[in-house]
Structure 1
Amino acid sequence: MSERAKAQEETRQRIVEATMHLHEEIGARATTISAIAEKAGVQRLTVYRHFPDETAVFQACTSHWLSLNPPPDPASWGSFDDPRRRFDAAVTAFYAYYASTRRMWVSSHRDVAEVPALQGPMAEFAGFVAKVAADLTGAFKIGENRAQKVEATVGHVLAFPTWDDLEQRNIPDSVKVGLAGSWLNGVLGS
């Protein structure tokens, strides 16, 4: 790689990291191109040279953040034959993930309605959570009517706002997972 290309890539990376830190610190809604440029130590024009618009820089930021903070891997609980153990393992993994990435999720959930560039990535993550909920529900041998209720409950349990509400109430992690299991038991009729 030539020195010029290397310098351009380093500048681009500084812009992406500056955006990521600003999103986490002040939120996407308050993050301006000027603030990104200042935090990255470049001119506004330099930001625009690397990213034609806010959506492009937000997409690069999201990709970078997810590469550093990948969501829980369904393979980590997929080996459990018992659907209840699978559920508990998935909830534990999601709650540990949310605990380690809380700042970004809080600001993203707060700002998503007002920042169009954030809506796509948030919808993608919601789709991922919905797929995990459907897969976890499918492991239970239940009728279609109960399956809808179980899937809705599991989706609610896995959603960041549910975890965050419990976190704000200072509920310990093991109790959070136990509560989730109680909700599941209730809808399963156990």
Structure 2
Amino acid sequence: MATRGYSMERRAALETETRERIVRATVALHAEHGPLGTTYAMIAKRARVAPQTVYNHFPGPDTLFGACTGHVLGRAPPLGPESIRSGRTPADRLRLLARAVYARHAFLAPWMRIGWYESALVPELGAIVARGNAALRELVAAAVAPVREPTAEFVDAAFVLLDYPAWKEFTRNRPSAEAARIAGDCLADLLRRFTRAQRRRRQS
């Protein structure tokens, strides 16, 4: 029984190692060729496994994209409510948000270089990008609340400044940190024009 248990544990460990190797191979290929330019045969060759092994671990693109996204984002600079929590004012929080978003764009650039454009053509990738966009819009709104009321115009304009194409353009002739500062200043300017002060509730 002990030998059988060891064999099962060893097999499970090998399966996990194979799965991770497939994910790492896919992540590398996506950076080089984009999702549309990456085939299961290419993944199998890079991971040094049979094509059927790739299918066994990832029967469809949704499971493969999900695993790759988790692998990459797990190593990316953090982006969430904690990224803006230390800001004392809406403008402070927006500048912190720009810094965090641009740091993440800089890390993700090897994959976004092709993947951002192909997300409109690959439904599984498009769904992942859409979830990220929705989360970013929520962070924009959270950055100005409860002091200011984020209008739809403000959230839309802020999202454009924080989206990947803006980062790509801003960093064409300057470091990412400087680009983040510029984006943060632009967000602070938009704050005064496109948000409204929240009315204080009267205490009864």
TM range (shorter): 0.7 to 0.9
Structure 2 partner of 1:141: 148
Task: Give runs of aligned pairs for residues 25-104 of structure 1, distance below 5 A.
Answer: 25-69=32-76, 71-104=78-111
- State how far apart, in whole Å, the 1-side matches of 2:45 and 2:79 are: 33
- State how far apart, in whole Å, the 1-side matches of 2:98 and 2:110 are: 19
How far is the alpha carbon of 1:116 from its aligned partner? 1.8
Provide the identity percentage: 30
* AA partner of residue 171 (structure 1): R
Tell me if 1:153 matches 2:157: yes
Q: 1:59 to 1:81 in 2, by over 3 A?
A: same
Structure 1 partner of 2:132: 125
- State how far apart, in whole Å, the 2-side matches of 1:188 and 1:110 are: 32
Contact 1:33 1:54 survives alignment (8 Å): no
Tell me if 1:23 matches 2:53: no
- State how far apart, in whole Å, the 1-side matches of 2:51 and 2:89 are: 54
TM-score under structure 2 normalisation? Answer: 0.82
How far is the alpha carbon of 1:23 from its aligned partner? 0.9
Contact 2:93 2:144 survives alignment (8 Å): no
Instruction: Give 5+ residue unaligned stretches, structure 1.
Output: none
- State how far apart, in whole Å, the 1-side matches of 2:93 and 2:191 are: 17
SS of 1:72's partner is coil
Which protein shows a greater Rg?
2
How far is the alpha carbon of 1:179 from its aligned partner? 4.6
How far is the alpha carbon of 1:171 from its aligned partner? 3.0
SS of 2:119's partner is helix
* AA partner of residue 157 (structure 1): L
**Higher helix content, 1 or 2:** 1
- Choose 133-142 or 30-39, whichever is displaced more: 133-142
- Choose 46-55 or 63-72, whichever is displaced more: 63-72
* AA partner of residue 103 (structure 1): P
How far is the alpha carbon of 1:90 from its aligned partner? 1.0
Q: 1:27 to 1:183 in 2, by over 3 A?
A: same
How far is the alpha carbon of 1:132 from its aligned partner? 0.8
TM-score under structure 1 normalisation? Answer: 0.87
- State how far apart, in whole Å, the 1-side matches of 2:77 and 2:131 are: 13
* AA partner of residue 56 (structure 2): R
How far is the alpha carbon of 1:164 from its aligned partner? 1.1
